[in-house]
Chain A
Amino acid sequence: MQSIILQAKAIHKQFHDPVTVDVLKNITFSINAGEFVSVIGKSGCGKSTLLYILSTMDTDYSGELLIDSQPMRNKTEAELAHVRNAKIGFVFQFHYLLYEFSALKNVMLPGLKLGQYSEKEVEHRAIERMKKLGIDKLAFKQANQLSGGEKQRVAIARAMINDPAIIMGDEPTGNLDKRNSEMVFDIFKQLTTEFKQTMLVVTHDVEFAQKSKRIIEMEDGRIIRQ
């Protein structure tokens, strides 16, 4: 019996600018703990839009979203921020690090915000995760001095700092060359196999998707295969 981490029920999303279009139509699926799921589909079919909804950043939709069995409807902005902080790790296509901080501090920030561990412990946990990703030597480098692949690994370490229920990625390898893409994929693979980390990754890279356990294919705002 596997527990369900994320559940989407009849999610529907419209954009009204300039004319009303249904971008997502009746999206229903669930993700079990420990699953590694890829989402593929043509450009413009609504993958990113879906991911922003699932990550609670976009609240303008109809339907229901449950994370860790908790409904996300009727939560305040601050409560949703807490859900993102504690339960979701997000890896973007562009690394999105804070350039005012060192790599280590970037990884630590969501941990410090959560406040579950002391600053010393958070630092220890951050170093641990960076070691696993082979970037512990870069800990005290300023974020803007890192290479693209290094930045992405720092972003992954940041996503992992609070042991989230699920890590989401929007084309996390989209901006990397083949060698770096493979490395990121290997890291993801390792996370699922070794640490039973649940993953939901949007990708264009068919090869990447093929290697994951489960593929959700979208077309025109609908799921056509899962």
Chain B
Amino acid sequence: MISRLIVSIARSLLLARLRQTMVAAVGVTFSIMMFVTLLGFMNGLNDMLDGLILNRTAHIRLFNDIKPKEKQAIEKAKDYKNRSHFIHSVKSSGSRREIYNVGAITKAISRDPRVLGYAPKINAPVFFNDGNIEITGVINGIDVEAEARLFFFKDYVTKGNPMDVKTVANSIILGKALADKLLVDIGDRVYVNNSQGERFSLKVVGFFESGLMELDKVNSYASLATTQKIVGKSNNYITDLQIKLKDLNLAPAMAKDYSKLFECDSEDIQTANAQFETGSNVRSIISYAVGITLLIVAGFGIYNILNMMIFEKMESIAILKATGFSGKDVRKVFMVIAVSIGLIGGLAGEVMGFLLSNLIDNIPFNTPALPTIKTFPVNYSPKYYIISFVFALLTTYFAGYFPARKASRVDPVVIIRGK
């Protein structure tokens, strides 16, 4: 155990070298501050970017892909088994884009306890008429309520009321960039041609800004019924089922199961956004690496200062030993010194880190791409504070360990004789 006596000796040695110990503690404070701020800021950005894509992406998407038959006719012929096949004549044709049996599938999905909810969607490629030219675009037929509940649709409708798309007949919400291209405002009408060349007139009731310009240039939203009318299909025509799960990590396995069970294609969020996850991870790793490097540098500072202190205090150590303090006592004294530098510097660093994060959090950050963000995003997760504090204690412990061991091995005879 560390007695009060050890602590009081450590404190006296610390106070006698106040300036050096302050420098060491400030090193720890600085690195902890940077660690906490960096991770908070980086993860704030990550959360924001995740929100940009992941919030609006289904965890599992069920659809029916247009693709050639997996088994070409020739492969079925017994005579040509185990031969190389050059003939791939059977092209994809006659296949439909809609999901078969939507009613049964949705019933089954809504009974699955792992599912948070689902939103049906129709993906309809169309042409927008702009005078003489036609602009290719997509109308997403959506169930506004489900879309709003699961995928935060309302956050991205920057002008107009998203519910209008359901209540106003033949209405549409246009991507802001698309609307700018078509020179239309709310209340105006746009003209749309379907792939069969039929022409429809739709009323613009809102603008949509996703934060991704490329998406806003081609996308628009209409109700399911309106879209079904445009593509000329019946009212059970659905091309996509977007499923949101309670636990995102189950998506890959469940996607496979659903694909088999419902005989359709599926895609999970991890596969669809693999590159996105990688980006987040890289940002996290970089900030951890920088933070830990800072801490290790601070650790070397402590190591140096303790070494110097021990060098200066050789005589004191010899006296302590001559008057009955053991090597272990001496080691404890220096460990207490090291760890208190870590403790005090670390605590100050946490506070400073919080203040700096707060400062960043209040810097205005307005971008048309991100309508819901007003200031720089910061993540205040206690995780970063705890990790950094534990690291501060660990680094100072190891930084103190070797100098303290050296001190405990000082031979008083050598010192006393040397005088």
Chain A residues at the B interface, C-beta cutoff of 8 Å: 48, 52, 55, 57-58, 77-78, 81-82, 84-86, 90, 92-94, 96-101, 109-110, 112-114, 158
Q: Contact: A113 with B325, CB < 8 Å?
A: yes
The 8 A CB mask of B108-137 against A (1 = contact, 0 = none) is: 000000000000000000000000000000
Q: How far is the CA of A114 from the CA of B16 in the complex (A)?
A: 25
**Residue B416 at the chain A interface, CB threshold 8 Å:** yes
Q: Contact: B324 with A96, CB < 8 Å?
A: no
Which of A78, A92, A93, A94 has a CB less than 8 Å from the CB of B326?
A78
Chain B residues at the A interface, C-beta cutoff of 8 Å: 5, 9, 12-13, 15-16, 315-316, 318-329, 412-413, 416-417, 419
Which of A52, A58, A77, A90 has a CB less than 8 Å from the CB of B323?
A90
Nearest CB on B from A200, distance (A): 15
Q: Which residues of B contact A81 (CB under 8 A)?
A: 321, 324-327, 329
Q: Contact: B319 with A97, CB < 8 Å?
A: yes
5 A-B pairs whose Cβ atoms sit less than 8 Å apart in the complex: A52-B416, A82-B324, A85-B323, A96-B416, A113-B329
Q: How far is the CA of A110 from the CA of B316 in the complex (A)?
A: 13
Nearest CB on A from B20, distance (A): 14
Q: Contact: A96 with B321, CB < 8 Å?
A: no
Q: Which residues of A contact B419 (CB under 8 A)?
A: 93-94
Q: How far is the CA of A153 from the CA of B211 in the complex (A)?
A: 82
Q: Which residues of A contact B324 (CB under 8 A)?
A: 81-82, 84-86, 110, 113-114
Q: Contact: A100 with B15, CB < 8 Å?
A: yes
Q: How far is the CA of A94 from the CA of B326 in the complex (A)?
A: 22
Q: A98-B319, A112-B5 are contacts. A78–B327 as well, Cβ < 8 Å?
A: yes
Q: Contact: A100 with B16, CB < 8 Å?
A: yes
Q: Contact: B412 with A57, CB < 8 Å?
A: yes
Q: Contact: B322 with A55, CB < 8 Å?
A: yes
A52-B416, A100-B12 known; 19 other A-B pairs, CB under 8 Å?
A52-B417, A57-B412, A77-B326, A77-B327, A78-B326, A81-B321, A81-B324, A81-B327, A81-B329, A85-B323, A92-B322, A96-B315, A96-B319, A97-B319, A109-B5, A109-B323, A110-B323, A110-B324, A112-B5
Q: Which residues of B contact A85 (CB under 8 A)?
A: 323-325
Q: Which residues of B contact A99 (CB under 8 A)?
A: 16, 316
Q: Which residues of A contact B13 (CB under 8 A)?
A: 100
Q: Contact: B322 with A57, CB < 8 Å?
A: yes
Q: How far is the CA of A158 from the CA of B5 in the complex (A)?
A: 16
Q: A48-B417, A57-B412, A94-B419 are contacts. A158–B323 as well, Cβ < 8 Å?
A: yes
9 residue pairs, one from A and one from B, having the closest CB atoms: A85-B324, A81-B326, A78-B326, A100-B12, A100-B16, A110-B323, A84-B324, A112-B5, A96-B319
